[in-house]
Amino acid sequence: MTIHAKQNNAAPKTPSQEKAAGICIQGYEGSFHQVAARSFFGKQVEVIACATFRDLIRISSDKKQSAGGIMAIENSIAGSILPNYNLLQKSKLKVIGEVYLSISQNLMVNKGVKLEDIREVHSHPMAILQCLDYLEKHDWKLVETEDTALSAKHIHQKHSKHAAAIASKLAAELYDMDVIAPNIHTLKNNVTRFLVLQRENEVKEIPDADKASLYFQTNHSKGILAQVLTQIAKGGINLSKLQSMPIPGSNFKYGFYADLEFESRKQFDAVLASIESLTNSVKIFGIYQKGKVVKG
């Protein structure tokens, strides 16, 4: 399932961004994953819609089916998507970039439908929950669905005159619907972080990289994690995220996912060397440029 968007006149992309065709997303056309893909690769990007994150990882790993993928990893309200860390660790994909997408939930209807015509609103349960303050002002039936963009697609296909959907502005554009009430979400600071993924044997060094994502385990002796964090701080590196995860098959022992922000690759390499004796294993998921917040 793909979309071929029109070519735009954007500035030339970096080598990693030129491989835009066939980027896997989770969800349907018009989903926030596609909005994030467009932000990183440009509006011309072709997307491959995947039903689950597991499918996204599987198809992204197959060079015959895709050029890579983009996957949500955490949200400023809901926190980390822990299963996606496990999927990433088991894969042979590398992180080559990231997108911080400011999520905007919008109420959309078919052409000609007015606010007073609406009897029910369809969307994913999380989107409905994010918009309850607005929705509870109206006597509408709330219908939970599997996907925000799919809700918009179904209402469009059925030519419904009494149903609305909550989805992205991109979904409204793709399905020729009117945004009758924009930005109806309660908490305005709602940002989802997406990781841009590419097969490890195709990854090239990214110029001016200033961030790395990695996983490490320690021997779990007393104070060992504190020693690792001290070495990171001594190296002048900012630890922007630290996420613990149980080690499968162990008795309450944990590994750690970390995001490190640095000024130079030499600085990062020095810190890696300093924690080598304090860790049992270190896996680098990717070394890339920090992303900026963009509007969804």
DSSP string, 77-136: TTEE-HHHHHHHHHSSEEEEEEEEEE---EEEE-TT--GGG--EEEE-HHHHHHTHHHHT
Q: Does domain 106-181 have CATH number 3.40.50.720?
A: no
For helices 53-60 and 82-90, the axis angle rounded to 10 degrees is 20
Query: Would you place residue 296 in the very low, low, confident or very high pLDDT band (cuts 50, 70, 90)?
Result: confident
pLDDT tops 90 at residue 163? yes
Query: Would you place residue 206 in the very low, low, confident or very high pLDDT band (cuts 50, 70, 90)?
Result: very high
Q: Which of 53, 23, 28 is nearest to 123 (CA)?
A: 28
Q: What is the mean pLDDT of residues 143-168?
A: 97
Give backbone dihedrals phi and psi of 163, rounded to 5 degrees, phi first. Answer: -125, 145
Do the two domains 2-103+191-201 and 211-288 of this chain adopt the same fold?
no
Q: Where are the domains of the chain?
A: 2-103+191-201, 106-181, 211-288
Q: Residue ranges of the alpha helices (H) in the chain? A: 15-18, 32-41, 53-60, 82-90, 125-130, 132-135, 148-157, 169-174, 224-234, 265-275
Tally the residues of the chain: 296
Query: Would you place residue 15 in the very low, low, confident or very high pLDDT band (cuts 50, 70, 90)?
Result: very low
Q: Any idea which residue has 């993928």 for tokens?
A: 69
Query: Would you place residue 10 in the very low, low, confident or very high pLDDT band (cuts 50, 70, 90)?
Result: very low
Q: What is the mean pLDDT of residues 24-51?
A: 96
From the options 3.40.50.800, 1.10.3210.10, 3.40.440.10, 3.40.190.10, give the CATH code of 2-103+191-201. 3.40.190.10
Entry pTM: 0.88
**Which tokens belong to 93?**
């994909």
Contact status, residue 82 vs residue 75, Cβ threshold 8 Å: no
Which pLDDT score is estimated for 251? 84
Give me the percent of the chain exceeding a pLDDT of 70: 93
**Which tokens belong to 36?**
């994030």
| CATH code assigned to 211-288 | 3.30.70.260
Give me the percent of the chain exceeding a pLDDT of 90: 86
Which pLDDT score is estimated for 219? 86
Residue 163, strand partner residues: 120
Higher pLDDT, 17 or 207: 207
Which pLDDT score is estimated for 21? 63
Higher pLDDT, 212 or 220: 212
Q: What is the mean pLDDT of residues 55-82?
A: 95
Q: What is the pLDDT of residues 103-149, one digit of tens each?
A: 999 999 999 999 999 999 999 999 999 999 999 999 999 999 999 99
Strand order in the sheet with 238-246: 238-246, 254-261, 211-217, 281-288
Rg (CA), the chain: 21
Q: What is the pLDDT of residues 237-257, one digit of tens each?
A: 999 999 999 888 888 889 999
